[in-house]
């Protein structure tokens, strides 16, 4: 597991928490912010997966 995968998973988890908190508190701004952060984390994690695949295929 590389650093992009780890950071992506952490960011995704933080985004999920923010999103859930926004839903509970009925705070649409916090919910949206969490959703965006979650998706950025997914992208970063996917980028890390791609880097790992490229490294392993050599």
Domain count, the chain: 1
Question: How many whole angstroms separate alpha carbon 7 and alpha carbon 17?
Answer: 15
The values of phi and psi at residue 50, to 5°, are -60, -45
What pLDDT does residue 51 have?
93
The reply to whether the predicted model has a pTM over 0.75 is yes
Nearest alpha-carbon partner for 1 in 57, 49, 54, 55: 49
pLDDT tens-place string over residues 3-44: 999 999 999 999 999 999 999 999 999 999 999 999 999 999
Residue 2: phi, psi to the nearest 5?
-100, 175
Q: Which domain holds residue 17?
A: 3-57
pLDDT at 58: 74
Q: Residue 20: its pLDDT value, please?
A: 98
- Separation CA 38–CA 8 (nearest Å): 9
């Amino acid at each position: 597991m590389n650093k992009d995968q780890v950071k992506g998973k952490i960011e995704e988890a933080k985004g999920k928490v923010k999103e859930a908190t926004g839903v509970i508190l009925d705070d649409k701004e916090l919910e949206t912010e969490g959703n965006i952060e979650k998706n950025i984390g997914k992208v970063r994690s996917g980028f890390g997966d791609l880097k790992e695949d490229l490294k392993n295929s050599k």
